[in-house]
Amino acid sequence: MDLDYLVQTLATIAGVTMSFGYYPQAWKIFRTKSADNISLSAYSIFIFGTTTWFLYGLYERSLVIALSFVFGVVGSWLVLLLTLYYRGKQNS
């Protein structure tokens, strides 16, 4: 097996797996209808990072980078939007 192929495959699997880490938090916010303990500054940084890496992957035409971060972009934005939504509902 080609070493480059193996490294790219492992990097893609690791990246996608890590990107799915946002979804349990989003599910918890949705299920509890509360985002009291969510750090908006942390998720803003996550959004900046995942979006930047995703765009870089597209720019470089790197399927490994783009695939690794597309789920992170969606997940980090989902947490932020759910946080803003449920905090807005609590304040009104």
User: Mean pLDDT score of the chain, rounded to an integer?
Assistant: 92
* The pLDDT value given to residue 67: 86
State the helix-helix crossing angle for 63-91 and 40-59, rounded to 10 degrees.
150
pLDDT tier for residue 30 given thresholds of 50, 70 and 90: very high
* The pLDDT value given to residue 27: 97
pLDDT tier for residue 68 given thresholds of 50, 70 and 90: confident
Q: May I ask the CATH architecture of the domain 3-91?
A: Up-down Bundle (1.20)
Cβ atoms within 10 Å, residue 16: 16
| Per-domain boundaries in the chain | 3-91
- DSSP character for 1? -
CA distance 7 to 63: 13
DSSP-assigned letters across all residues of 19-53: HTTHHHHHHHHHHHT--TT--HHHHHHHHHHHHHH
pTM: 0.84
pLDDT surpassing 80 at residue 91? no
Our CA angle for 65, 24, 18, nearest 5°, is 25
pLDDT surpassing 90 at residue 52? yes
pLDDT tier for residue 78 given thresholds of 50, 70 and 90: very high
Q: What is the rounded radius of gyration, in angstroms, for the C-alpha atoms of the chain?
A: 16
CA distance 26 to 34: 10
